[in-house]
């Protein structure tokens, strides 16, 4: 493994930065149609090497949306959530917030981003190349080295062999350290670095696997002096409430809040967040230059929920301008509209009142005749009113007139 301008690279995987710099103009953002064959090859290499979208955009100028499309084609079986969390925690500032928020141990005190060094391609090379969610950092503090790695587990079933897997990972990581130290590792005074393993669990059920390795071995009491002893930490996102995350008041907590919104109904949690939270998130976001990262995360979350395209654009533009609170309210509106339109389509289909074929589109539109489209939007407007929106807000969101909504509302009441 060698170190280059793009970070650590696997030997044999080349990032032709000179080609990149010749192919793009400074500051130009290229769409998929504008991306050359050579550039696409570069991006595919970087994706294969586990570089995250922001790094690729920095060196290529190709838009995040295009990179995400290419990632899906290159790795169709890869979990989107794995990619999201890789993106979040490859950022040093976000990782530092994670340590400060969840790892209440003395060694975390006083850490800054200067203490952290990311190994973006180290872990996949040593371990399982399909586990894109694994993050490894080397922390240097008081002349000591500490390795911290996070494994994201979002499977529906718990891996009960996790204690053994972690021991295996730790052994391989130590082996890599020994190889890097070469002759130094053979000296009597050489000590292996400390390793802190962390499981970040986002599955549906409770994490019930043993967290202490010795508890996974038979006759541990009889042979305890011969049995390895270590314990890994589990951060269970499901057990963290929206209120607990709001108290953290930083961009990392915002990313976790977005992830916890599983259904449009949970969008109300965003609307209930206090102004102080948004102000602190904005200040920290600006301090660590995290706007582009948050924009990227919001884009991924909204597109994964098939939100309205115009609302996605509005949300991203507001955040780019630093209007985090307004951007998040636009985000919540986008999911509220999606919820209302889905409810309207289901109801219209059941009652048989829509003409033409009823089929949801990516932007929340309906196929079929113009009458069917209008009635579907009017039904969505009624759902918004029932959710607490004003008639003015419903009209603006769905691009209807207040008169159309009032007339339809009266017709429904008279039926």
Other CB atoms within 10 Å distance of the CB of residue 357: 10
- For residues 294-304, one letter each, b for 16 or more C-beta atoms within 10 angstroms of the residue's C-beta and e for the rest, the string is bbbbbbbbbee
Nearest C-alpha neighbor of 87 from the set 116, 114, 118, 113: 118
Contact indicator for 1, 125 with CB cutoff of 8 Å: yes
List residues bridging with 140 in a β-sheet: 145
Q: Is the pLDDT of residue 377 over 60?
A: yes
Other C-beta atoms within 10 Å of 128: how many?
11
Task: Find all residues with CB under 8 Å of 25, minimum gap 6, and list them.
Answer: 61
pLDDT for 287 equals 93
Instruction: Report pLDDT digits (tens) over 273-287.
Output: 899 999 999 999 999
Which range scores top for mean pLDDT: 78-87, 119-128, 282-291? 282-291
Q: State how far Cα 398 lies from the chain centre.
A: 29
CA atoms within 13 A on the CB side of 331: 31
The reported pLDDT for the residue numbered 93 is 96
> What span, in angstroms and rounded, lies between the C-alpha atoms of 129 and 135?
12
| pLDDT recorded at residue 192 | 93
Query: What are the sequence ranges of the domains in the chain?
Result: 2-76, 82-239, 242-414
Number of C-beta neighbours around residue 110 at 10 A? 9
- Using alpha carbons only, give the angle 336, 339, 344 rounded to the nearest 5 degrees: 125
Query: Model-level pTM?
Result: 0.63
Q: Which helix (H) or strand (E) holds 233?
A: strand 233-236
Q: What is the mean pLDDT of residues 92-111?
A: 94
Highest mean pLDDT among 103-107, 323-327, 365-369: 103-107
Query: Would you place residue 305 in the very low, low, confident or very high pLDDT band (cuts 50, 70, 90)?
Result: confident
Strand order in the sheet with 135-141: 116-118, 135-141, 144-153, 194-201, 233-236
Residue among 66, 12, 65 at smallest CA distance from 39: 66
**Tens digit of each residue's pLDDT (9 = 90 or more) over 221-268:** 899 889 888 999 999 988 899 999 999 999 999 999 888 887 767 777
């Amino acid at each position: 493994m060698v170190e280059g301008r793009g970070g650590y690279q696997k030997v044999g995987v080349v990032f032709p930065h000179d080609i990149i710099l010749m192919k793009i103009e400074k500051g130009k953002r290229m769409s998929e149609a504008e991306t050359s064959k050579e550039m696409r090859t570069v991006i595919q290499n970087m994706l294969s090497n586990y570089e995250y979208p922001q790094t690729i955009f920095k060196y290529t100028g190709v838009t995040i949306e295009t990179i995400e499309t290419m990632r899906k084609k290159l790795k169709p079986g890869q979990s989107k959530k794995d990619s999201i969390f890789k993106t979040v925690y490859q950022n040093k500032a976000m990782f530092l917030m994670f340590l400060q928020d969840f790892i209440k141990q003395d060694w975390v005190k006083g850490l800054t981003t200067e203490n952290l060094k990311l190994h973006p391609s180290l872990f996949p090379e040593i371990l399982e190349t399909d586990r894109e969610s694994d993050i490894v950092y080397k922390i240097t503090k008081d002349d000591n080295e500490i390795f911290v790695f996070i494994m994201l587990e979002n499977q529906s079933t718990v891996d009960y062999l996790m204690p053994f897997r972690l021991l295996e990972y730790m052994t391989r990581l130590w082996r890599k350290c020994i190889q890097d130290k070469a002759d130094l590792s053979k000296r009597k005074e050489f000590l292996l670095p400390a390793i802190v393993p962390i499981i970040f669990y986002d599955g549906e059920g409770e994490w019930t696997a043993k967290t202490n390795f010795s508890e996974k071995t038979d006759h541990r009491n009889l042979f305890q002096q011969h049995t390895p002893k270590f314990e890994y930490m589990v951060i269970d996102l499901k057990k963290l409430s929206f209120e607990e995350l709001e108290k953290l008041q930083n961009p990392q907590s915002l990313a976790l809040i977005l992830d916890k919104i599983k259904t449009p109904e949970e969008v109300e949690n965003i609307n209930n967040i206090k102004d102080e939270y948004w102000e602190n998130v904005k200040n920290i976001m600006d301090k660590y230059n995290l706007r582009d990262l948050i924009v990227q995360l919001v884009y991924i979350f909204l597109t994964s929920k098939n939100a309205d395209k115009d609302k996605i654009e509005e949300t991203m533009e507001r955040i780019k301008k630093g209007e985090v609170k307004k951007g998040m309210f636009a985000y919540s509106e986008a999911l509220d509209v999606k919820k209302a339109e889905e409810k309207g389509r289901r109801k219209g289909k059941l009652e048989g009142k829509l003409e033409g074929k009823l089929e949801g589109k990516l932007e929340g539109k309906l196929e079929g005749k113009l009458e069917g489209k209008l009635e579907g939007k009017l039904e969505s407007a009624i759902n918004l009113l029932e959710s607490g929106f004003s008639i003015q807000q419903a009209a603006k969101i769905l691009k209807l007139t207040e008169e159309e909504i009032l007339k339809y509302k009266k017709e429904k009441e008279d039926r």
